[in-house]
Structure 1
């Protein structure tokens, strides 16, 4: 066989292993569990004295220049139908677009859960902006006579159905979980969003198979930062967020910190939690991915080379081999490339169905993988230029460095 045929055979073998040996990452059936043990959802009525059987929850929302999404996301939190004590703490992280004032206006207009708006000032050296804001919000939530039993850490662009908080708490209590995280369904309105966004979740699940994360005693840890319900006592035990204050990929670091402290974690796909942030252009999606891609590789050039080579063999070799078979007179390469490409596309179909998109997008996965490869390389280039992860007017040039305005 030719060299390209051998590469195509390697790709096919890799897809056979990924399909069966990587935690069935391509399946989309990891959804919020229903309680299987006694928990709040099983407690009828209220006990003597009128105290709610449902645990208290503080919702902490870090927000920096989020006036464009708050009118849709914040009312969904204010309208939560939760039987126990709950309040919202929105931390205005140095916004320049009136985020804090808009939040107060929305609370006055819609009512619902009580809202506290506060600002922590600029982050101290060694802190990322989001974790600095979470630190301030958690401190506010714990400032009363009694700590809330749970913390819901949710981004300002996340919209929740009215029963979202209730279902999260029921799942955590019923299954004795210390961290429950849902990967919000991201927006797929524009053509670029349809091409890139489902693949983002697909690649994440391939790297962190949800089944492995949710298995008791697992060593795999990850979370989705847009929607995380965290038991307060475990947050204190894990020293969150202080212990991860420099993390750019804060959700994975949070899950590892909780797991490292002995806590049980769970991650799945959301059905009633949505991200409303638009990424209409390729440039918007490019920035979203490249700002943290090299950090995911621990800023290691050897891991970068391995990732580029792996993406090339697994995702790019099959269509190249098929073309070699069709136009280069190499039937072995052509058939092996076709089979590898077919398996690849088949594993992508469940994610496309989850996003309610056409199955005709599945064969385009190699092109999307090429985009992610280029985004990852660009992330490394920006890192070595000293720009590192740039987001919302702050740049983190090196791990643990002081954020500075662009």
Structure 2
């Protein structure tokens, strides 16, 4: 047997393992549990960190202010040094739409060792602490919530005994590049962090989706959120790990009525979204980078290459094995495409999308070593451990 056949057979075996032994990550059916509503609704404070979000705030903030929540709830928008009038616009929207009480405040520039978002979250949690809430809803400024979003999150948390209930907001997938890249982004995330494993008590797998995180307030204090994760660029995963390390129970699933309103119309926009944190996901480790590149190539690129090379060289075994692996790959992608309401013909294009992600990951490492890693909205964050640690 040729080296190509052996390599393709390994790729096919990897896909069989992913299909059956990776928590059924490819199934898009992990949704917010429908639970009976509690007899007494706990108080909730919503914390929204916002930096230069005037373009999206009119489509997101009114949805939070309009929450149909039977208990006491209010919103704290923390303006993280915006230069586009985000804070003023938030006050204007609250005056125009009414609804839940809104407080707008600013914490000033973050000190060394803090990301801007987490510094803003810390300030918001501090403001909310005076109200003594039982739960905190941490949500991004580009996330729009259905009117019953908050009550559904709280009902699921109370009934399931969860310390964190997080929904991965449905990202926008309207432009051609969004259709090609966005569903794969969520598919790859679920492959790294299978949702079914996250929800198991005692399981080590931990992740959350930062756009929508309902967090029990006493758990936040016990896990020292956000101080314990103050330098994390991928703050949602770090939050879930801190909660689990403190003995908490985490649930993560796909959202039905929580949507991101931020557009990513160009490949450049999507590239920046992925590359700013990809190397941080690999803990800035060159060996992990090499392993990731090799793994992506073996799993996603070898099957189509084997089909083409096998057909040209008359190697039927290589072409057959590559075709089988490609078919399994495409089949596992179909549920995510259905969730995003995208055509099925995009499924066989997953190897091309994976190749784009491979390049984005390499670019993330290159930008890191050039001193421009984890750059976002005018800030560049140092690798953890290169800044003084606070007590």
TM-score bracket for the superposition, by shorter chain length = over 0.9
Residue of structure 1 equivalent to 2:22? 22
5+ residue gaps, structure 1: 44-52
- Maintained 8 Å contact 2:62/2:93: yes
SS at match of 2:34: coil
Higher mean C-alpha displacement, 320-329 vs 235-244: 320-329
Inter-partner Cα distance in structure 2 for 1:336 and 1:177: 44
What is the correspondence of 1:4-403 to structure 2 with a 5 Å cutoff?
4-35=4-35, 41-43=37-39, 53-144=40-131, 147-401=132-386
* Separation in 2, partners of 1:63, 1:328: 56
Assess if the C-alpha contact under 8 Å between 2:38 and 2:158 holds in 1.
Answer: no
Runs of 4+ in 1 over 6 A off after TM superposition: none
Q: CA deviation at 1:397?
A: 3.1
Taking the aligned partners of 1:89 and 1:217, their CA distance within structure 2 comes to 33
Distance in structure 2 (CA, Å) of the matches to 1:102 and 1:120: 18
Against the structure 1 CA distance between its residues 184 and 324, is the aligned structure 2 distance closer, same or farther, given a 3 Å change threshold? same
* Native 8 Å contact 1:396 1:402 kept in 2: no
- Contact 1:124–1:402 (Cα < 8 Å) also in 2: no
Structure 2, unaligned runs of 5 or more:
none
Distance 1:58 1:42 in 2: 18
Question: Following the alignment from structure 1 to structure 2, what is the Cα–Cα distance between the partners of residues 226 and 400?
Answer: 26
CA distance in 1, matches of 2:385, 2:75: 29
Q: Tell me the TM-score normalised to structure 2 length.
A: 0.98
Give yes or no for contact 1:58–1:150 (8 Å, CA) kept in 2: yes
Q: Counterparts of 1:20 and 1:340 in 2: how far apart (Å)? A: 14
Instruction: Give the TM-score normalised by the residue count of structure 1.
Output: 0.94
The residue that corresponds to 1:47 in the other structure is none
* Counterpart Cα distance in 1 of 2:289 and 2:258: 33
Structure 1 stretch 195-204 or stretch 378-387: which is displaced more?
A: 378-387
Secondary structure at the residue paired with 1:113?
A: coil
Q: Could you say what secondary structure the match of 2:330 adopts?
A: helix
CA RMSD for the aligned pairs? 1.0
CA distance in 1, matches of 2:350, 2:38: 44
**Partners in 1 of 2:208 and 2:383 — Cα distance?**
23
